[in-house]
Chains A and B, each alone.
Chain A
Amino acid sequence: MDSDAFAGFYQRSAPGLRAYLVRVSGNAALADDLMQESYLRFLCATRPEGGEVNYRRYLYRIATNLLRDHWRRPGAACIEDVPEQFLAARDRLSSIDSQAMLEPALARMRPRERQLLWLAHAEGYSHREISEITGLSAAGIRLLLFRARRKIARLLRQQIAADRGRA
């Protein structure tokens, strides 16, 4: 990959990757750091064959590993233990789409659930692709996603009902 090809790939993939990192980590500054590191590792590594689709998946895998490393670090909370409200409160994007109904619902989801939901429904990845990205088993992802989707759908409906009630 030469400089121009990378610039094109970056322009197409960076906004989506950043959105993923911001939504899952709940911290825009951390997301920026992890995004830069993801691209640096992507450029330094031996990339998979198969063009941009595989490049993008590989990039998400690097970013997911970096997120996991961040959560494993002493002092950083574990992915399963991060208080969702705390993360949501630190999300700088909240001011941009605070009117959107997703924000309060996401704030009540666990980071792992956010990660799976985002990859499946925002990025459109299949269970097998999510498995490659996260390192979880495809069967486990199927069940986790089913539960997460049911949970967030309930929260979204509550949010919609509350919004209608206020209106």
Chain B
Amino acid sequence: MTFRTCSYEKELHQALKDGHWPEGCGQELRTHVDGCGNCSDLVLVTQTFQRARTESERAAPCGSPSLLWWRAQLRRRNAAAERVSRPITIAQTFAWFVTVLVGVVFVASQYSHGLRWASWWSEFVPPRAFHLLPFGSGQVGWNLVLLISGFAVLALLSALVVYLAAEKS
């Protein structure tokens, strides 16, 4: 297929667009269209599409603009709230992450250093208090208590972080 342009095409296109074809056009253009394949294609196609557009417009059931307006307002408001709360959420998540990290490091360091502070603290606590504990007053019992407490705190914080993330999403 050869790509050819016609010198009358622009003028004809404008006339069709403005609704001036054929009455508002000169005899010269009309005679040209009769003999030019490109221009007669242009007339046929443009008039057919314009008619189809008019038919479609008449048939189109369009929704309520006010409903769309309010939906857009809601979407804009949500987007604005999202933008504002994003740094807060990031800071919140970071804070929880640091807390959990500190907890893990603390439990790990205490476990590896044999819970020295615990033995120091036990000197100030009346020995009778340890009798209430089911593990006795020995080093193994304290290790176990702290380990379990550490894991419990860790589990609680993790659950909180997961909850916050899930709530956000």
Contacts and interface: CB of A to CB of B under 8 A. Distances in A.
Nearest to A7: B65
B55 interface: yes
A12 to B, nearest CB: 10
Given A44-B75, A100-B55, A150-B1, A122 B69 contact: no
Contacts of B50: 121-122
A146 B56 contact: no
A35 B61 CA distance: 12
A96 B71 contact: no
A147 interface: yes
Interface stretch (A17-25, A48-56, A66-74, A80-88): A17-25
B69 A7 contact: yes
B4 to A, nearest CB: 8
Given A39-B72, A43-B72, A14 B62 contact: yes
Chain B interface size, as a band, is 20 to 34
B76 interface: yes
Contacts of A3: 66, 69
Given A19-B57, A43-B72, A10 B65 contact: yes
Contacts of A102: 48-49, 51-52
Interface stretch (B39-47, B86-94, B135-143): B39-47
A61 to B, nearest CB: 17
B60 interface: yes
Given A36-B63, A156-B45, A15 B55 contact: no
B46 A100 contact: no
A60 B70 CA distance: 21
B116 interface: no
Contacts of B72: 39-40, 43-44
B68 interface: yes
A135 interface: no
B165 to A, nearest CB: 26
A84 to B, nearest CB: 16
Given A14-B60, A16-B57, A101 B17 contact: no
A157 B44 contact: yes
Interface of A: 3, 6-7, 10-11, 14-16, 18-19, 22-23, 32, 35-36, 39-40, 43-44, 93, 96-97, 100-102, 105, 117-118, 121-124, 142-143, 146-147, 149-150, 152-153, 156-157
4 interchain residue pairs of minimum CB distance: A19-B56, A43-B72, A10-B65, A153-B41
